[in-house]
Structure 1
């Protein structure tokens, strides 16, 4: 099973704000699931985002 990260956890890993992570989700840059009112980001989606940014 793939690990799901919170917006706060992703923001800390990327050293950015939670608002910026939400903007990336809204723009489609970062894949996420909506669970209730909160977003969860699959670890694989974050890894793919980082790989794409480094390419």
Structure 2
């Protein structure tokens, strides 16, 4: 949705698929108690592990 020249040289857009795991999780019953959280898609796996360390 952005022109290629909108990206600073040496940088790249993230692949949109990075949003899939957090979106699927947020739509699940497991996320029903999550409010006012900032979830960074590229850090989602670590965020989820930190949220529930017993789950592994």
Higher Rg of the two aligned structures: 2
Give the structure-1-normalised TM-score: 0.31
Q: Which has the higher strand share?
A: 1
Give the structure-2-normalised TM-score: 0.31
